[in-house]
């Protein structure tokens, strides 16, 4: 057989093989599925990252996982999810094992109080309330039969930092739910719809774990970092009572009028999204390592609670209840294992009270 014949056979076989691959893609892929996420959530799905936490002279090796549908933790059918918590990195809590997070601490406390449902962690680093709205537009509608009874919004920290540029760029402000680069978003769209790409990512998640581990040393921040910055020496936690003394509410409402208006408008949108999905929304205020010292966070929290009373929304004012300590935080906004535990213990009674009032979940 001549070389020309061999090339012809190779070409024909390759062509047939590619046609077969195309047929498999069309039949088994997700090109026309209404539940395909397309270019969204690619950076927050099918994650399996080995990490190390050093805290209180203990070392914890753990795997940070985000499942097939984008939630932190193990695989779960979206139709089985009864409650979710949304927030930024202070909700995601990537730098600690899942069992040390606010979410899992709340689940432990709920179980002790006789409840059989679990809160699923939908936190995405960098997200503000604008990002949470983005979730309702581009993430949650793509989850088949996803209909939780409860949405918990742990909010305030990321909204305090927003500038108009951030607000006007939803793809950036969403917490990278969609890659802002056009070419990468296009490629993400192709990969998420491809049968073969999807199955390869699932296999990789199941069988492959990289050797390199990212280390989160909370001891460094709690000890050396705070001391170097002279924070621990003159540290004062500004609780709600003290904040009322040092902040002029009328002045701050004027100073941050536009920011407050945008924030409360987002609250209304999120509230409506939850209700339209036959779910109950609960909004929880946040604090920093120094409590309510920063005026814009204080006035956002204050305005939220004021709005909740006016609109009869369910809100939990963590900022008013918590008397913080430096040991609760390993940096300006993120909590240590102890801090997450204390926060969950601070809000659990109010959470249960709302659940009972709304007759949302039965006791075991």
Q: What is the pLDDT of residues 239-294, one digit of tens each?
A: 999 999 999 999 999 999 999 999 999 999 999 999 999 999 999 999 999 999 99
The answer to the question of residue 31 being in a domain is no
The answer to the question of residue 14 being in a domain is no
* Domain enclosing residue 257, as ranges: 42-357
The answer to the question of residue 152 being in a domain is yes
Each residue's pLDDT, cut to its tens digit, for the chain (364 residues) gives 676 677 766 777 777 777 777 777 778 778 888 888 989 998 899 999 999 998 888 999 999 999 999 999 999 999 999 999 999 999 999 999 999 999 999 999 999 999 999 999 999 999 999 999 999 999 999 999 999 999 999 999 999 988 765 666 666 667 789 888 888 888 888 888 888 788 888 887 777 666 667 777 776 666 565 565 556 567 889 999 999 999 999 999 999 999 999 999 999 999 999 999 999 999 999 999 999 999 999 999 999 999 999 999 999 999 999 999 988 998 889 999 999 999 999 999 999 999 999 999 988 7
The answer to the question of residue 35 being in a domain is no
Tally of domains within the chain: 1
The per-residue pLDDT for 220 is 65
The answer to the question of residue 225 being in a domain is yes
The per-residue pLDDT for 352 is 97
The answer to the question of residue 37 being in a domain is no
What is the CATH classification number for the domain harbouring 79? 3.40.50.1110
The answer to the question of residue 353 being in a domain is yes
CB crowding 86-111: b at 16 or more within 10 Å, else e: bbbbbbbbbbbbbebbbbbbbbebbe
The per-residue pLDDT for 88 is 96
The answer to the question of residue 36 being in a domain is no
Q: What is the pLDDT of residues 295-319, one digit of tens each?
A: 999 999 999 999 999 999 999 999 9
Tokens 């680093």 label which residue?
Answer: 125
The per-residue pLDDT for 27 is 81
Is the separation of the CB atoms in 175 and 91 below 8 Å?
A: no
The per-residue pLDDT for 1 is 61
List, edge to edge, every strand of the sheet that includes 58-66: 58-66, 47-55, 214-217
The per-residue pLDDT for 168 is 66
């Amino acid at each position: 057989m001549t070389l020309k014949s061999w090339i012809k056979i190779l070409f024909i076989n390759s062509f047939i093989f590619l046609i077969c691959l195309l047929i498999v893609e069309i039949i088994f892929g997700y090109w026309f599925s209404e539940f395909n996420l397309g270019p969204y959530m690619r950076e927050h799905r099918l994650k399996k990252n080995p990490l190390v936490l050093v805290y209180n002279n203990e070392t914890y090796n753990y795997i940070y996982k985000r499942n097939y549908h984008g939630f932190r933790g193990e695989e779960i059918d979206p139709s089985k999810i009864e409650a979710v918590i949304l927030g930024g990195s202070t909700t995601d809590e990537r730098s600690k094992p899942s069992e040390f997070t606010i979410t899992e601490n709340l689940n432990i406390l709920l179980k002790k109080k006789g409840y059989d449902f679990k809160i699923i962690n939908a936190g995405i680093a960098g997200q503000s309330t604008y990002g949470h709205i983005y979730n309702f537009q581009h993430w949650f509608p793509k989850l088949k039969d996803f209909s939780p009874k409860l949405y918990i919004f742990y909010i305030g920290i990321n909204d305090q930092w927003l500038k108009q540029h951030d607000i006007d760029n939803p793809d950036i402000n969403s917490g990278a739910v969609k890659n802002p680069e056009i070419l990468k978003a296009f490629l993400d769209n192709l990969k998420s719809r491809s049968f073969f790409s999807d199955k390869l990512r699932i296999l990789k998640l199941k069988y492959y774990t990289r050797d390199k581990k990212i280390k989160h040393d909370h001891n460094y921040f709690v000890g050396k970092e705070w001391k170097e910055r002279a924070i621990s020496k003159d540290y004062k936690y500004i609780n709600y009572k003290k904040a009322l003394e040092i902040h002029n509410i009328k002045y701050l409402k004027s100073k941050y009028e536009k920011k407050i208006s945008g924030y409360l408008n987002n609250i209304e949108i999120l509230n409506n999204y939850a209700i339209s999905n036959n779910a109950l929304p609960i909004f929880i205020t946040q604090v920093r390592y120094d409590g309510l010292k920063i005026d814009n966070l204080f006035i956002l929290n204050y305005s939220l609670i004021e709005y909740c009373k006016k609109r009869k929304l369910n809100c939990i004012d963590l900022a008013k209840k918590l008397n913080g300590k430096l040991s609760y935080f390993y940096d300006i906004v993120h909590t240590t294992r102890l801090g997450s535990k204390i926060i969950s213990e601070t809000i659990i009674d109010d959470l249960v009270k709302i659940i009972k009032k709304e007759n949302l979940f039965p006791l075991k």
